[in-house]
Amino acid sequence: MIFELEKKDATIIGVIKDTTGGGISKITSVELKETDITIYFTAHGYDVNLLLAKKDDDYVTGSLMGMFNAEGERKKESK
């Protein structure tokens, strides 16, 4: 899954896409702390949360619903 997050004013908004760029779900809310972020969204009718902790400037690790390991990498837009 690809999470497109954008900081708008004092909040973070975004959408979740599949690997082809098709939309899966909108992000319903985000809790941002100094070194981690929790993203809430709905998938297949279930409320889901994804906790990610900063590993370095481009990588995160965490868990989906506290049951599945998750990892992520920042994708930078090519100009």
* Residue range(s) defining the domain that contains residue 22: 2-73
**Predicted local confidence at residue 10, as pLDDT:** 82
pLDDT tens-digit readout, 21-33: 888 889 999 999 9
Q: Cα-atom radius of gyration of the chain, to the nearest Å?
A: 12
For residue 79, what pLDDT band results from cuts at 50, 70 and 90? low
Position 78 in a domain? no
Position 79 in a domain? no
Position 60 in a domain? yes
Q: Is the pTM of this model over 0.85?
A: no
Q: How far is CA 73 from CA 15, 44, 47, 54, 56, in A?
A: 16, 24, 23, 10, 10
pLDDT at 77 over 90: no
Mean per-residue pLDDT, 16-21:
87
